[in-house]
Amino acid sequence: MALPYTPDDDQAAARFVNEALRGQDPEVWRDLAADAYVEQTDRVLLAILDRIAADRAHRNAERDTARARLAAGEITRADHDRERAEGGERAKRTAHFEALVREHHRLIAAKARRLRGDDVRDELMSLVIALGTAIDGHRSAVLGGGGEPTGADRALWARLAELDVPGTAGRTSLAALVERHTAGQDHLGSVLARIVLDLAGDAASVARADLLEVWKRKVAPTLTAEEKADFAARGKGSLVTERLRKAVALLERRGLLARSEQRLDLLDRPGLAELAAARTP
């Protein structure tokens, strides 16, 4: 079927997508995922998720206000409990609708990413940042070890400082991207080090299952809905567990941890303590 609006009419698309969410017709969703419409459908579903998030924030504010009014004696306990029950029912309906929207958005966003070439772009960007990080690490090792850099070293470092790469907000220097990437990795490593030390106590290792449970509680609340939706669209599983995988790999490279069966062995407790104490932003 032909969709009854053009790919640049987002208002009409929003009305149609809302009806499609209620109808759940597979053929309609195939049309919404067509090359000509998939990016628009992606935008519309993201806008719906944004409204859900705003509505949730509004409900939370109302709940806080109701508690304050109850404490001040402005409303009765019965009124407060009735409003709370009504809010709970609305929250359940919203959660069900949000889950439905997110499931459709996961599929639509994946198609939109493929169409735009986002996966290829992200892979290339990851390779560029990895290369830049390696160059930066080489510079730190040479200068930190008191060695004398060669002419080739200096030329390589100068090239790192000169390069810039395109992004959604214009071009950014590769050096700045490497700095942000390193800071982010250091932060995750610091979080992981604190968790490992807390779980281990005096033991020499921690169970990876226990670590994952605590990691989820610590890290999941720090991730935005946009980050999680974007990662889900790539079809690579959970962003929380991906962050843990990278943090473990970082600490392994630094010689602080080692994987053994279903556990993580603490190789350098003082090093872990030093990293844990580094409260990176």
Cβ proximity of 261 and 164 under 8 Å: no
* pLDDT band per the 50, 70, 90 thresholds, residue 1: low
Say if CB 155 and CB 171 are below 8 A apart.
no
pLDDT at residue 109 greater than cutoff 60 = yes
274 neighbors 216 (Cβ within 8 angstroms): no
With bands split at pLDDT 50, 70 and 90, how would you rate the model's confidence at 124?
Answer: confident
Cα-based distances in Å from 8 to 36, 68, 76, 104: 10, 46, 51, 20
Query: In this structure, is the dihedral angle defined by the CA atoms of residues 133, 139, 141 and 143, taken in order, positive or negative?
Result: negative
pLDDT at 172: 80
The band of 236, judged by pLDDT with boundaries at 50, 70 and 90, is low
Instruction: Look at residue 183 and tell me whether its pLDDT is greater than 90.
Output: no
Average pLDDT over residues 130-139: 82
Average pLDDT for the chain:
85
Question: At 233, is the pLDDT very low, low, confident or very high (cuts 50, 70, 90)?
Answer: low
Q: What percent of the chain has pLDDT over 70?
A: 96
Q: Which of 224, 198, 228 minimizes the C-alpha distance to 211?
A: 198
* Residue 122: pLDDT over 80: no
Asked whether the predicted pLDDT for residue 280 surpasses 80, the reply is no
Q: What percent of the chain has pLDDT over 90?
A: 26
Rounded Cα distance between 199 and 195, Å, is 6
Q: Token match 């080090």: residue?
A: 193
User: Span 95-107, mean pLDDT?
Assistant: 89
pLDDT tens figures, 85-95 = 888 888 888 88
User: Which CATH number is associated with domain 163-277?
Assistant: 1.10.10.10
Q: What is the pLDDT of residue 235?
A: 65
Regarding beta strands 257-260 and 170-173, do their DSSP bridges make them parallel or antiparallel, or are they unpaired?
Answer: unpaired
pLDDT digits (tens, 9 = 90+) for 30-80: 999 999 999 999 999 989 988 888 888 888 888 889 889 888 888 889 888
